[in-house]
Amino acid sequence: MTDLETTKRPSLLARLYARFEELVREAGKFGTIGLITFLIDTGLYNLLWGPLNTLVAGTISMAVAASCAFVGNRFWTWRDRARTDLRREYALYFLFNLGGLLIALTCLGISHYLFGFTSQLADNIAKNGFGLVLGTLFRFWSYRQIVFRKRPETPQSAPMNTEREIEG
């Protein structure tokens, strides 16, 4: 037998994981932070739902949860990313969080005021179901691409190609 016959090719799943390992790891950490802050957001929203207007309660709960998420994402999810000015990161983070908030509040407002679904359950489904999913996709993309950017590769940090790698 030759070396090629005895060497197994990695499975499709293993190759896909190897290719997207960093993205999978980041998405897992982002999801963990998201779950924790979802509980903060939902709990606070439901505490404020009765005494306050639904949109005000949603805004307050999401602002508190977003502050907690910033700390978790900066110091855990993307801790290996280049550190820029904390004010820049925090400002951009909250700008894109505002975008996610507007997405969630738009879903809530459409459900509550346009479609007339005014129960607490309907408001939670609109805000924490549809709004959360769409807002989270937007936030993950913007945080990953803009707020917590990868360190640029420098010639010293880039791997050197050897003749063997070039020929083989």
Structural domain includes residue 159: no
What's the pLDDT score for residue 13? 83
Structural domain includes residue 167: no
Structural domain includes residue 77: yes
Structural domain includes residue 91: yes
Structural domain includes residue 71: yes
What's the pLDDT score for residue 54? 85
Structural domain includes residue 15: no
What domain range includes position 103? 21-149
Report residue 64's pLDDT band, with 50, 70 and 90 as the boundaries. very high
CA torsion through residues 129, 142, 67, 113, sign: negative
Q: What are the structure tokens assigned to 12, written together?
A: 């499709």
Structural domain includes residue 37: yes
- How many angstroms separate the CA atoms of 165 and 116, rounded? 64
Report residue 164's pLDDT band, with 50, 70 and 90 as the boundaries. very low
For the chain, what's the residue count? 168
What's the pLDDT score for residue 97? 85
- How many distinct structural domains can be found in the chain? 1
* Closest of 42, 28, 37, 39 to residue 93, by C-alpha: 37
**pTM above threshold 0.85:** no
pLDDT digits (tens, 9 = 90+) for 24-47: 899 999 999 989 998 999 999 999
Higher model confidence: residue 26 or residue 4?
26
Helices 132-142, 86-109: crossing angle, 10 deg rounding: 160
Structural domain includes residue 106: yes
pLDDT digits (tens, 9 = 90+) for 142-159: 988 888 887 666 655 555
What's the pLDDT score for residue 162? 45
Q: Quick one: how far is CA 65 from the chain centroid?
A: 13
